[in-house]
A = this chain, B = another copy of it.
Amino acid sequence: MHSRSPLTVLFSPASIALLGSFETPGSTGNIILSNLAASGFNGKIFPIHPDKPSILGLPALRNLKELGGTQPPVDLTVIALPAGQTVAALKEIAQIHGRAALVVSSGFKETGHKGAALEKELVEIARNSNIILLGPNCPGLINPGANINISFSGAAAAPGNIGFFSQSGAMFSSFITWTQKARLGISTVVGFGNKAMLNEADILAHMSRDAGTGVIAGYIESIDEGVRFMNIAQLTTRNKPVILMRASGTSAGARAASAHTGAVDGLDMAYEAAFKQTGIIRAQNSAELFYLSKAFASQPLPQGPGLAVVSNAGGTGIIAADACEKAQISMASLSEKTIAQLKNILPPYASFFNPVVAVGEINAEGLAKTAEAALQDRNVHSLLVIITPSSFFTLPQVTEKLLKIFKKYSRKPIFCCFMGEENLMDIEAVLGAAGYPLFSFPEPAVHSIAAMYKYKLWKDTPMPVNVSYRRDIHKARGIIASARTTAKTSADSGGAVELPARLAHELFHAYEMPVLKTKMARTSDEAVQIAKQFGQSVALKIASPQITHKTDVRGVALRLDNPSAIRSAFTDITARVRRLRHDAYIAGCFVQEMAPNAAHEITIGFKRDSRFGAMLFFGFAGLQQEVFKDLSCRIVPLSLGDVQTMLREIRGFPVLTGTRKHKTINLTAIEDVILILSQLAQDFPEIQEADCTPVFVSERGAVVADMRVLLSKSCE
């Protein structure tokens, strides 16, 4: 499983060269070299300096070429030169066959066009010379296990199991000092900088393979290669939790632009979907990113949903129970045996049920016994001990007693919350060193346990299999090709080509999508003929490429069940539309079989995103979508599990499971429509966008009543 990652040469180099100005105390080069020298690195360090024979006590080389003779050449070269000198430096590295470069320098893409050009040059050199390039504008990397600290951070990170990557230098340095405070250990911390070559997908892949990394956490603003990142994450999360925070870093305006309906934050929905589909745990804010990392890094996963709360006070138990309900884990019901045990330990006016409130005057010994009673209960899968200030024990006393008990139950996750204490630094150090995370408030502790249980369930779910349908792809290809030909003679819409209604219908037919029978009638006689073929009541709808909202021009007539009704509706509709819309070419009317008694109208569609590919949306049609933004989203391809959770995720889902007026809807039929559309998206990357609205659904099935297919212009 843990094969050697190609990035090992970057994260665990045997030798490190540094280019920069080291003399001035406080300069970038000076600080980085000092930190590296102080970190106790076993391999060779080569500061490069044109004049000085030794720098900060280390023998210096005059230039990189002096390394040319050594075998193997230097693994990693750190560049801390002004941006303008980096290209020449990287060329030198290429000449001596250096294997990796870390560019600390700023002044690249982040500063404008000129910097971006410079950055592009760096990437070209690195690609051509097989150099792994991290940065530029990179805050560095720390690998405490290998005694490597290439960063501004003077703090000595302890070795351990958390791998952390960051798109922000601030979060890079904050995370390091924060882990020290909590006595957490780090396998690797790395900042991407501008991600010119290595990005989050590469780092994730490395940490996924790295045997020393047990928990992966990260802060990102964007994911550059969405599909690749998802593929790597999908495999990684089966073995290790991945906890990510995403800050959008874009203005409100830019966000809205990428939306499905022009009003939903479409891009963030893509991130949300990508995280869900790959089991990534999303941290909603920076505090959450840190405390979830702490929880996952310290304790085993709970084997069930049952949480026991033990406290020396009542209110905190209630707060924890409230948080439990919001987090959808449950307060364990204690067994009769446990309750009997508690009655022996605690005074009669204590609360023996969960939350167990061991009264204010309990001492450290009593609290430890109470915790043990809860821990030995088979219904209890995790424990939260909440301590509030008391005159009956000191924190060191209670910590010592509790730790003795905790160690006996090492397979159940145990969390402590010491509320309101003035100085918890020392206690956090003692608990942290023993591997027990300390919280200042009950809610984040409960939330952490819930996130760990949810992750346990994810780990236990078999690897999802993406659903694949074999459809008549050749026929579909022909239809699309003929649309391209037609399009050249008609108007485009914003660079993309809309498939004419007839072809869209044929395309869906080729993919065995359930659609309402529809045929074009140029005359009322034709309409009557078609209705006779259908053998049932029909609808007429105006056929004009210029008219999208047919009802706005009253271009629709429903429930026509005899020839004279059809004839007069045909004449009415075409005459009216001709009068109202002089601009529109009117081809005639579509004759459509009347929809079966639909319980609800839903919308299913996809839209392509440059990072993630096709984003598939599902929701109710109409107000639910337009006003309530009640849509769920997944990224194509989808597994059966994805389709099922996507249905259940919308707020309106209970409507589909039956109401006073309607029976339970045929969910499988809806899933089928989604999966066929997903297949279409996979088979035809040139379909930029497809929309089925409305899809009529009932207890009997689902049928697409109207659809729209947009081809991208670029594929012509």
- A binding-site residues for B, Cβ under 8 Å: 26, 28, 31, 106-107, 110-111, 139, 152-155, 166-171, 173-178, 180-181, 219, 221, 247-249, 252, 285-287, 311-316, 318-319, 321-323, 325, 349, 360-361, 386, 388-392, 419-423, 425, 440-444, 549, 551-552, 623, 626-628, 630, 651-652, 654-655, 659-661
Residue contacts A-B, CB under 8 angstroms, 18 given? A154-B391, A155-B389, A155-B422, A170-B312, A170-B388, A170-B419, A173-B420, A174-B419, A177-B420, A177-B422, A178-B420, A247-B315, A248-B322, A249-B321, A285-B319, A286-B442, A286-B443, A627-B652
Shortest Cβ gap from A324 to chain B (Å): 10
Identity of the chain B residue whose Cβ is nearest the Cβ of A153 in the assembled complex: B389
Please give, as numbers and ranges, the residues of chain B lying within 8 Å of A421 by CB-CB distance.
Answer: 177, 181
Known: A173-B388, A315-B170, A441-B287. A552 touches B420 (CB 8 A): no
Q: How far is the CA of A323 from the CA of B249 in the complex (A)?
A: 11
Please give, as numbers and ranges, the residues of chain B lying within 8 Å of A286 by CB-CB distance.
Answer: 319, 419, 441-443
Shortest Cβ gap from A19 to chain B (Å): 18
Known: A286-B442, A360-B169, A443-B286. A247 touches B322 (CB 8 A): yes
Please give, as numbers and ranges, the residues of chain B lying within 8 Å of A219 by CB-CB distance.
Answer: 315
Shortest Cβ gap from A21 to chain B (Å): 13
Please give, as numbers and ranges, the residues of chain B lying within 8 Å of A176 by CB-CB distance.
Answer: 389, 420
Q: Is the CB of B623 within 8 A of A655?
A: yes
Known: A28-B361, A422-B177. A168 touches B623 (CB 8 A): no
Q: How far is the CA of A419 from the CA of B176 in the complex (A)?
A: 11
Among B311, B315, B442, B628, contact of A628 (Cβ-Cβ < 8 Å): B628
Known contacts A174-B389, A249-B318; can you find 11 more A-B pairs with CB under 8 A? A28-B361, A107-B349, A139-B360, A170-B315, A177-B421, A178-B420, A219-B315, A248-B318, A285-B441, A287-B440, A623-B659
User: 3 tightest CB-CB pairs across the interface, nearest first?
Assistant: A168-B315, A174-B420, A170-B313
Q: Is the CB of B314 within 8 A of A168?
A: yes
Please give, as numbers and ranges, the residues of chain B lying within 8 Å of A221 by CB-CB distance.
Answer: 315, 318
Q: How far is the CA of A221 from the CA of B443 in the complex (A)?
A: 16
Q: How far is the CA of A349 from the CA of B82 in the complex (A)?
A: 12
Q: How far is the CA of A323 from the CA of B168 in the complex (A)?
A: 16
Shortest Cβ gap from A167 to chain B (Å): 7
